[in-house]
């Protein structure tokens, strides 16, 4: 018997030390345990990283696999209670079970014997090993020792798988952030940058939210204004987009490159609505609080005390969503609002964590774009001022030249006018008098013209007079 136990344990150790992360080794473990303990049913449950839910990892061949036993919360039923207490729980015969023991069972009509052992290693709970049988049974101390030893071996395998999963997750996150960073460097124009950011939030190879809206803080007007929205307008559009993505499997850079090649930002009804949204910064709305408190919010319809703007609720149909601040240089420059209104996938704390990492990077890109826009605007103003200054200098030079020319013309013109007037007096009674009159008239016209030129070329000193303001 001991030799058989050791062989079973060694087989399980071998399976635990050669993980494929496909789940096949856990199913083989369940088959070995079922055979060793002589039970019809053996299940291995894995704890999630938040230590809240236990999910069915593997079940032996022929074991009961109803939907109702696929997931348990810690503390609930026999599996959840075992994880909570971190000790073996055994019910040898249901007919002799106490009220407390019966309260742990959800399959009392199917089995007579139940036992579960915590899959624990170094005080960390990784899951629960569960066995049951249609026949009453009693575990000896040796059986319990074997069950606990097997559980510890499985714990090492689940721990390695968790590390592997976490490593893959971190690598994927860094890969996504790198791709997003590369994509945001393809442009400095604000509208193009905002669309790249929102595409990264919603695309299948990105953060995978259904819809995303970006709002920027307008400190002059003390409001948060909608800038852009990206996402399908209906469930039909959503399924169509997801289907196309699953076929084409294009990355973010490919999608962005294709949009840049088209030369325009794709329009949608969501985008048009998002641009009309204006929220006061001092309001009690969650989005305004995201800016003021510089923190993220995960909003659910059942959460009391969390105010959702009527404008957001009516125009966008937002009920369950998340809002994350866009940080840059220690202040909030905007807010990203995301939801999963079509596939109804809950937004988890992990989603918020990754979105926050992305938002910090996006905030810096937006700040650089806004600074570029300010510099570009200042450059244009400076150029206009420079052009006006050049024009003023040209006009001043032209005025000075006109004044010099006027002075040079006035001197001979004065002589001509003087002699023409003397000649006019001498020709009194002669027919040639009319010619002298024409000369005098034209000289006077030229003198008036020169006077106007000299007035325009001089700098005005201004003229001040006292007036009654009541009359004005």
What's the pLDDT at 57?
86
Element (H, E) at 209: none
What's the pLDDT at 472?
63
pLDDT in tens, 106-146: 754 468 888 889 988 877 888 988 988 888 888 888 888 88
State the average pLDDT over residues 98-107.
78
What's the pLDDT at 188?
75
> Phi/psi of residue 359, each to 5°?
-65, -35
State the average pLDDT over residues 174-193.
76
Closest-CA residue to 364 (of 418, 409, 326): 326
pLDDT in tens, 341-393: 888 888 888 888 888 888 888 888 888 888 887 787 888 888 888 888 888 88
Go through the domains of the chain in sequence order and give each one's CATH number.
Answer: 2-161 (3.30.450.40), 169-371 (3.30.450.40), 378-457 (1.10.287)
The full length of the chain comes to 472
**For 135-285, where are the alpha helices, taking DSSP H only?**
141-184, 190-202, 235-248, 252-262, 269-274
Q: Is pLDDT of 399 > 80?
A: no
306-309 own/partner pairs: CB under 8 Å, 24+ apart: 309/279, 309/283, 309/285
> Phi/psi of residue 297, each to 5°?
-130, 135
Query: For the whole prediction, is pTM greater than 0.75?
Result: no
Name the average pLDDT for the chain.
79
Q: Cα–Cα distance between 251 and 272 in angstroms, integer?
A: 26
- Name residue 41's beta-bridge partners: 132
Check if the beta carbon of residue 217 is closer than 8 Å to that of residue 327. Answer: no
Distance set, CA 62 to CA 32, 45, 283 (Å)? 13, 17, 59
What's the pLDDT at 335?
93
Of the pLDDT bands very low, low, confident and very high (cuts 50, 70, 90), residue 66 is: low
State the average pLDDT over residues 298-313.
65
Q: Is pLDDT of 303 > 80?
A: no
Closest-CA residue to 124 (of 188, 64, 46): 46
State the average pLDDT over residues 259-264.
55
Residue with tokens 């995301």: 338
Of the pLDDT bands very low, low, confident and very high (cuts 50, 70, 90), residue 324 is: very high
Q: Is pLDDT of 182 > 80?
A: no
Angle at the Cα of 368 (from 261 to 280), degrees rounded to 5? 100
What's the pLDDT at 326?
92
Of residues 383 and 170, more confidently modeled: 383
**For 42-76, where are the alpha helices, taking DSSP H only?**
none
pLDDT in tens, 203-222: 765 678 888 899 999 988 89
Of residues 12 and 107, more confidently modeled: 12
Coil, strand or helix at 52: coil
Of the pLDDT bands very low, low, confident and very high (cuts 50, 70, 90), residue 304 is: very low
Q: How many percent of the chain have pLDDT more than 70?
A: 82
Q: Cα–Cα distance between 105 and 113 in angstroms, integer?
A: 11
């Amino acid at each position: 018997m001991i030799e058989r136990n050791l062989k079973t344990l060694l087989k399980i150790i071998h399976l635990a030390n050669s993980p494929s992360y496909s789940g096949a080794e856990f199913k083989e473990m369940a088959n070995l345990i079922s055979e060793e303990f002589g039970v019809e049913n053996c299940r291995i449950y894995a704890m999630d990283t938040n230590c809240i839910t236990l999910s069915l990892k593997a079940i032996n061949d022929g074991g009961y696999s109803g939907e109702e036993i696929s997931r348990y919360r810690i503390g609930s039923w026999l599996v959840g209670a075992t994880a909570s207490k971190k000790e073996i729980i055994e019910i040898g015969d249901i007919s002799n079970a106490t009220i407390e023991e019966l309260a742990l069972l959800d399959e009392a009509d199917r089995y007579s014997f139940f036992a579960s052992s915590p899959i624990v290693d170094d005080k960390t709970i990784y899951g629960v090993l569960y066995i049951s049988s249609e026949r009453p049974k009693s575990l000896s101390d040796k059986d319990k020792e074997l069950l606990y030893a097997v559980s510890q071996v499985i714990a090492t395998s689940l721990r390695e798988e968790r590390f592997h999963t976490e490593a893959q997750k971190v690598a994927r996150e860094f890969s996504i952030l790198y791709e997003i960073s590369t994509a945001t460097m393809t442009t400095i124009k604000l509208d193009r940058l905002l669309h790249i950011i929102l595409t990264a939030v919603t695309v299948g190879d990105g953060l995978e939210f259904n819809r995303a809206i970006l709002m920027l803080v307008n400190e002059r007007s003390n409001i948060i204004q909608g800038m852009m929205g990206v996402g399908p307008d209906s469930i039909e559009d959503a399924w169509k987009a997801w289907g196309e993505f699953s076929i084409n499997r294009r990355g973010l850079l490919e999608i962005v490159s294709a949009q840049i090649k088209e030369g325009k930002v794709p329009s949608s009804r969501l985008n048009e609505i998002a641009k009309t949204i204006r929220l006061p910064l001092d309001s009690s709305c969650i989005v305004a609080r995201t800016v003021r408190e510089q923190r993220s919010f995960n909003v659910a319809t059942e959460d009391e005390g969390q105010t959702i703007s009527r404008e957001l609720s009516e125009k966008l149909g937002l009920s369950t969503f998340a809002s994350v601040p866009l940080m840059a240089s220690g202040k909030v420059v905007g807010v990203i609002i995301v939801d999963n209104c079509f596939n109804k996938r809950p937004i988890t704390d992990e989603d918020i964590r990754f979105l926050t990492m992305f938002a910090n990077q996006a905030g810096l890109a937006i700040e650089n774009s806004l600074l570029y826009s300010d510099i570009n605007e200042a450059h244009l103003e400076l150029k206009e001022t420079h052009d006006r200054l050049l024009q003023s200098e040209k006009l001043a030079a032209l005025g000075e030249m006109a004044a010099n020319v006027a002075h040079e013309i006035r001197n001979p013109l004065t002589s001509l006018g003087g002699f023409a007037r003397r000649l006019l007096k001498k020709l009194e009674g002669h027919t040639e008098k009319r010619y002298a009159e024409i000369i005098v008239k034209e000289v006077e016209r030229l003198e008036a013209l020169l006077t106007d030129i000299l007035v325009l070329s001089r700098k005005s000193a201004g003229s001040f007079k006292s007036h009654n303001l009541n009359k004005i």
